[in-house]
Amino acid sequence: MAAIRIGPGATLGGFQVGPRIHKGVMASLWEATHPDHPIPLLIKVPVLSEGSDPAAIVGFEMEQMILPRLEGPHVPRFVAAGDFTEQPYLVMERIPGTSLLPTLTRLPLPIHEVARLGARIALALDDLHRQHVVHLDVKPSNILFRPGGEAVLIDYGLSHHDELPDLIGEEFRLPYGTAPYMAPEQVLGNRRDPRSDQFALGVLLYFFTTGVRPFGDPQRLSGLKIRIWRDPAPPRKLRPDCPPWLQEVILRCMEVNPAWRYPTAAQLAFDLQNPDQVRLTVRSEKLRRDGFTTVLKRRFREPAFGIHRGGTVASPDEEAPIVAVAVDLSEAGSDVCETLRVMVSHILGTLPGARVACLNVLKQGVITLDSTLDREGRNKHLQRLVELKHWAEPLKLEEGRVSFHVLEAPHAAAAILRYLHANRVDHVVLGARAGSARRTLLGSVSSEVAAHAPCTVTVVRVGRRGPQYSEPEARSEDSWTVG
């Protein structure tokens, strides 16, 4: 895939590119037109330049999968998407007007405006949650409003869809989100709880009411974790005219434990629309932060919530096992690729509910800083992703049953093992290269993975007599098989 230059006048899939309206770290937004689509259009293109974050590609994949599944007034209408083999892009309806970001210049807002904005956003979140999506990046720049007043949530690159593979959660160990608005459970790695969006909205309401961010803008993980055990100053301490009912709503949204927040965003919207019916508790009366003893106990107590990875609520892990296949896309590994496909097909025949995670490791220098582009100016990560998808095409797996992961790391075996542990993989299939002096001295990726994997392992090898492999043994914590 040759690098394509995007700019005004360029054509992508029949869409005419207009002026650029936003340049972000992860993607750029351009106006667009098309003779078959009379509505205002927007083209989103991921950043693929030197030094770009791999999460930009992974997040773009997620948005390409999620946005076509969404409908209704609270999301931009999906129009088209560009294939990764040529140029990835996403065409959607352009929502007129600006985001909530300019609102921050006139904080604090009147109480009635805080409640009105909050209720509209809560209704949009409830609609999104009913479509099996947790947004996980609710912030002013991702909220717009239609002329009729409906809130529109944009940017689904960090979102989680309950019926799709969670690429962001599976590939990256550090939490992704916008620091001031991240929920405690999101900081700890749980990306599946809709009430995380409720926490972010609570932070927004706090900010709109007081003009101050409740947890500042921490830049390190240690700073993010403070919100797990340290409560913010009550809104009424910073703004005495804040009514008790609004403080009750805000602090309930920002409870550390998701179980203590509203059961649904719809119930939150109801309270914001009906202040006289808000049931007041001790939250509404607080005028200062919790005392030192309370904070200290909370600081050293294990949270009652935290990391949750794996299947959906309706489909537990046992009914939907994850089969990972590590694919060597180099020339040296080409002879075993077809054998890997045959083995994966055989396994899927016995596990009809299984999901396949296709892995490839893009090796990085231990000391040196590697370029993210090849000699032709193409993004290496994206190239590997395209090749990985090409490898899997003959398996003919539907969307949602297969995912693709390019892991950037200095050591292939360590990267694969991290993925297996973090995502509770049930079975891994990988190939073994032919013997060599270097392989004998340094050991092989396949043998290291087989020795330390937390799941069953099948290693396939192509020798002089053709493919060789052995069937996996029963599932156990340390079992593995090598052909």
Domain with CATH 1.10.510.10 in the chain: 101-299
Asked if the peptide bond before residue 108 counts as cis, ω within 30 degrees of 0, the response is yes
Task: Quote the CA–CA distance of 32 and 311 in Å, as a whole number.
Answer: 38
Architecture of domain 11-93: 2-Layer Sandwich (3.30)
Which residues in the chain come in under a pLDDT of 70?
Answer: 1-4, 304-319, 332-333, 366-369, 433-443, 462-483
Residue intervals of the chain classified under CATH 3.30.200.20 are: 11-93
> What is the rounded distance in angstroms from the CA atom of residue 179 to the CA atom of residue 105?
19
CA–CA separation, 166 vs 156, rounded Å?
12
Residue written as tokens 């990256």?
Answer: 172
pLDDT value at residue 317: 42
Of 28, 130, 48, 45, nearest to 80 by C-alpha is 45
Closest to 417 in 3D by CA, of 441, 383, 386, 445: 445
Q: How many helices (H) and strands (E) does the chain have?
A: 15, 17
Report the C-alpha gap between 269 and 267 in whole angstroms: 5
Rounded to an integer, what distance in angstroms lies between the CA atom of residue 415 and that of residue 54?
Answer: 15
CB contact set of 296 (below 8 Å; sequence gap of 6+): none
For the entire predicted model, the pTM comes to: 0.81
Neighbouring C-beta atoms of residue 282, cutoff 10 Å: 8
* pLDDT tens string 318-333: 457 889 999 988 776 6
Instruction: State the span(s) of the chain assigned CATH 3.40.50.620.
Output: 319-482
Q: At 342, phi and psi to the nearest 5?
A: -60, -45
For residue 95, what pLDDT is reported? 94
CATH 3.40.50.620 fits 319-482, yes or no: yes
The topology (CATH level 3) of 101-299 is Transferase(Phosphotransferase); domain 1 (1.10.510)
CA distances 153 to 137, 165, 418, Å, are 10, 21, 33
Q: Give the integer Cα–Cα distance in Å for 475 and 472.
A: 8
pLDDT of amino acid 63: 96
